[in-house]
């Protein structure tokens, strides 16, 4: 009898997780590469290095529960886990919880990618190198020093995504603070920080057009020190057979204490072609001379990638990318600083950089 009871108990324990996980899905990507990184127009003794580079690998846990009447409870935990070094396995990706309705869309609270990367640049998709993305120039102001919309997840966000209304969608988001924690109550602070993003888009069977507006204001500041960003992006693409032609225009300004310190425009033209298992990506991107900062601080970037699909989930790619900085500019490859690059590899004024990367990607 005891053996029968034990068997029943074990069966119950094993069955319980299956019930609990019935509405949980696990997905993500493992993506890592071997890079040859070179700095030119420099006075450095060592100007090149070979390195192993993670490309924002992640594991995503998504939860959905049907509440009835077209309403669902939803949640996501996005764990960014670099494969080339130790990691704390924090949920640093798009992580949120909320509600989804078949009538009014979804409302979520947490961390979200907002505004940056809206241009239709596919070079970092599949096994193309993430550092070759047009974000490198499109979403940085101040001659390359100031990331627009964090160029990562925005914290403390309340976000609404509309339903698809015949191809038309709208995203509206508000952040109480783009920093990790609010600081409105800091001693001496006279300004309250916040940010908002509005992103309408229309997508048809073979084309898309969209716009994104961003505005942010720093927490814990006085009127003389508050940092504000204002940015707009117009983007779109057109598909023809295996071809995809895109365009993006970004205008961004940054001010401190009400005085503009950066005002620049950037544009990109991405092109891709897919035939069978073969994928070809390229883009030309240019950041114009800043209207506020002295000196020539324009930059241009060219990137090319070939990716071969080994299966529906696995691909291998080779990427070439180059950024030419003018004398007063120091634009860098996207994610080359901030943990996914290498020590002391950030560019200095006037330095040019080249990347050749072999990358493997597996999606699950």
Q: What are the tens digits of pLDDT across the range 17-46?
A: 444 444 999 999 999 999 999 999 999 999
Q: Shortest CA distance to 267 belongs to which of 282, 253, 245, 250?
A: 250
pLDDT tier at 337 (50, 70, 90 boundaries)? Answer: confident
What is the predicted pLDDT for the residue at 20?
43
Distance, CA of 247 to CA of 345 (rounded, Å): 30
Does residue 226 contact residue 188 with C-beta atoms inside 8 Å? no
Residue 3 in this model has a pLDDT that exceeds 50 = no
In the chain, the DSSP E strands lie at 24-40, 48-54, 58-68, 71-80, 96-101, 105-113, 140-141, 146-147, 153-161, 168-175, 194-203, 207-217, 227-240, 243-256, 259-275, 278-287, 299-309, 314-325, 352-363
Residue 5 in this model has a pLDDT that exceeds 80 = no
Read off the DSSP letter of residue 230: E
- In whole numbers, what is the pLDDT of the chain averaged over residues? 93
Of the candidate CATH numbers 2.40.160.10, 1.20.1250.20, 3.40.50.300, 2.50.20.10, the domain formed by 28-363 belongs to: 2.40.160.10
Q: Domain segments of the chain: what residues?
A: 28-363
For residue 35, the cross-strand partners are: 51, 357
pLDDT tier at 16 (50, 70, 90 boundaries)? Answer: very low
Q: What are the tens digits of pLDDT across the range 113-129?
A: 999 999 999 999 999 99
pLDDT tier at 7 (50, 70, 90 boundaries)? Answer: very low
């Amino acid at each position: 009898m005891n053996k029968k009871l034990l068997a029943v108990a074990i069966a119950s324990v094993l069955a319980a997780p299956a019930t609990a996980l019935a509405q949980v899905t696990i997905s993500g990507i493992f993506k890592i590469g071997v890079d040859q990184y070179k700095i030119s127009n420099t006075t450095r003794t060592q100007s090149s290095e070979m390195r192993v580079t993670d490309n924002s690998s992640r594991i995503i846990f998504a939860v959905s529960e049907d509440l009835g009447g077209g309403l669902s409870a939803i949640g996501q935990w996005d764990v960014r886990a670099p494969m080339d070094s130790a990691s704390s396995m924090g949920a640093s990706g798009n992580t949120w919880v909320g509600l989804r309705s078949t009538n009014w869309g979804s409302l979520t609270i947490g961390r979200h990618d907002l505004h940056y990367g809206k241009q239709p640049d596919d070079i970092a998709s599949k096994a193309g190198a993430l550092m070759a993305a047009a974000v490198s120039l499109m979403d940085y102001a101040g001659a390359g020093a100031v990331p627009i919309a964090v160029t990562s997840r925005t914290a403390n966000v309340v976000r609404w995504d509309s339903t698809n209304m015949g191809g038309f969608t709208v995203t509206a988001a508000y952040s109480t603070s783009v920093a990790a924690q609010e600081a409105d109550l800091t001693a001496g602070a006279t300004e309250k920080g916040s940010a908002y993003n509005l992103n309408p888009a229309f997508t048809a069977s073979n084309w898309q057009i969209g716009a994104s507006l961003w505005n942010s204001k720093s927490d814990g500041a006085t009127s003389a020190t508050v940092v504000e960003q204002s940015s707009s992006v117009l983007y779109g693409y057109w598909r023809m057979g295996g071809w995809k032609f895109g365009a993006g225009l970004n205008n961004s300004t940054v001010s401190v204490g009400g005085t503009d310190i950066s005002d620049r425009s950037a544009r990109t033209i991405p092109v891709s072609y897919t035939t069978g298992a073969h994928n070809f990506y390229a883009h030309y991107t240019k950041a114009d001379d800043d209207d506020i900062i002295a000196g020539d601080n324009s930059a241009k970037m060219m990137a090319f990638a070939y990716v071969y699909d080994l299966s529906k989930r696995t691909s291998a790619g080779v990427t070439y990318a180059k950024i030419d900085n003018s004398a007063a500019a120091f634009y860098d490859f996207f994610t080359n600083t901030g943990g996914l690059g290498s020590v002391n590899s950030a560019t200095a004024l006037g330095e040019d950089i080249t990347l050749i990367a072999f990358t493997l990607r597996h999606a699950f």
